Amino acid sequence: MPVAPVPQRVAVVTGGSSGIGAAIARRLAPAGWHCVLLARGEERLRAVADEIGGEYELCDVSDRGSVERAAETVFARHPRIGLLVCSAGIPGRRSFLRADPEVIEQVVETNYLGSVWAVRAFLPGLEAGAPSHVVTIVSVAGLVAFPPSGPYSAAKHAQLAFSRAITAELRPRDIHVHTVSPGFVETEGFPQAGFLEMPVLGRLVARPDKIARHVERVVDRNRRETVVPAWYRIAPLAQALVPGLVHRAVSRARYRRARSDAL
Ligand SMILES: NC(=O)c1ccc[n+]([C@@H]2O[C@H](COP(=O)([O-])OP(=O)(O)OC[C@H]3O[C@@H](n4cnc5c(N)ncnc54)[C@H](OP(=O)(O)O)[C@@H]3O)[C@@H](O)[C@H]2O)c1
């Protein structure tokens, strides 16, 4: 008797063309997920989609209309979505004092609102595919704040607050939200060369596939909020309990750096 093929579950990965998002897609595909990758640049999208036997849609997550159009196109082919990964993001290491206002807007619109528009637009598919999952890739910068990454850190704090709030809000709809905050990860958009040059600090830098393995585990085990590596949890505790000490340490380090830069 012919056996009907088991339908593949569909995962949508924003930022799936590079770094952490691409590593997650590469891990999901062999585990039986059919991945639809979203990003702005077609060349990298097509390369990853071809490699994993997935699909892609051009989409700018900072533009609500673009995300809504991408979701409609995806729903026409896949009305049920089992997993949405929000990994699209851009760096913002320039100080608030030096960054162009347009760059600050782009950092907030991509890193924070990008997740809001993606969850909002893909909600009907996630409900149709329930029990389903949302993974938000936040950052340790969403747990602690120090210069020069003020606008990036603020956007990640906002993304974290959004992710925490929807965890409770979407639970009754059988949609499970997993907030993942990585530390330093070596990727094209976030080259951690400064750290990698220093052998001791280089150990702080993870590879994207480590985050992808972690994401697979948190979805399997239904973990709500995690930090990779876990010991980074100390940082927000220190900032909350002894803020004066942390500010003094950061200011001293910056003063020393400014002095050595001037030499
Ligand atoms: N690497 C780290 O150290 C680190 C640490 C903690 C958290 N994170 C977070 O991890 C996420 C992924 O970063 P990554 O390190 O993997 O960087 P990456 O290698 O530069 O990848 C970023 C991805 O996001 C896409 N993207 C950027 N802006 C977009 C937009 N407006 N609309 C749609 N897609 C957009 C990029 O493709 P296009 O440019 O073609 O659109 C690319 O696919 C980000 O949210 C970042 O904040 C990174």
Instruction: For Cα atoms 23, 136, 84, give the angle at the middle one, nearest 5 degrees.
Output: 75
Indicate which residue's Cα is closest to atom 1 of ligand 1.
185
Which of 45, 181, 57, 166 has its CA nearest to residue 111? 181
**Whether residue 241 sits in one domain with residue 215:** no
- Taking the C-alpha atoms of residue 159 and residue 62, their distance in angstroms, rounded to an integer, is 13
**Whether residue 139 sits in one domain with residue 262:** no
Nearest atom, ligand 1, residue 21 CA: 16
**Is 162 part of any domain?**
yes
Residue 88, classed as helix, strand or coil, is: coil
CA 157 remoteness from chain centre: 13
**Whether residue 154 sits in one domain with residue 36:** yes
**Is 1 part of any domain?**
no
**Whether residue 134 sits in one domain with residue 263:** no
Q: What is the pLDDT of residues 74-133, one digit of tens each?
A: 999 999 999 999 999 999 877 888 889 999 999 999 999 999 999 999 999 999 999 999
Q: Are 89 and 15 in contact (CB under 8 A)?
A: yes
Q: What is the pLDDT of residues 128-183, one digit of tens each?
A: 999 999 999 999 999 998 788 899 999 999 999 999 999 999 999 999 999 999 99
Is 152 a known active-site residue? yes
| Crossing angle between the packed helical segments 234-241 and 243-262, to the nearest 10 degrees | 110
Indicate which residue's Cα is closest to atom 29 of ligand 1.
88
* Cβ atoms within 10 Å, residue 88: 27
- Taking the C-alpha atoms of residue 228 and residue 85, their distance in angstroms, rounded to an integer, is 16
**Whether residue 257 sits in one domain with residue 153:** no
Please give the pLDDT value at position 193: 65
Ligand 1 in reach of 226 Cβ (< 6 A)? no
Q: Are 121 and 71 in contact (CB under 8 A)?
A: yes
**Whether residue 18 sits in one domain with residue 132:** yes
Indicate which residue's Cα is closest to atom 8 of ligand 1.
139
Number of domains in the chain: 2
**171 vs 236, higher pLDDT:** 171
Q: Domain limits at 160?
A: 9-228
**Whether residue 90 sits in one domain with residue 31:** yes
**Is 160 part of any domain?**
yes
**Whether residue 216 sits in one domain with residue 248:** no
**Whether residue 250 sits in one domain with residue 152:** no
> What pLDDT band is residue 16 in, cutting at 50, 70 and 90?
very high
Ligand 1 in reach of 15 Cβ (< 6 A)? yes
Share of the chain above pLDDT 70, in %: 89
Ligand 1 in reach of 136 Cβ (< 6 A)? no
**Is 76 part of any domain?**
yes
Ligand 1 in reach of 64 Cβ (< 6 A)? no
- Taking the C-alpha atoms of residue 119 and residue 40, their distance in angstroms, rounded to an integer, is 18
**Whether residue 250 sits in one domain with residue 194:** no
**Whether residue 242 sits in one domain with residue 223:** no
CATH number of residue 147's parent domain: 3.40.50.720
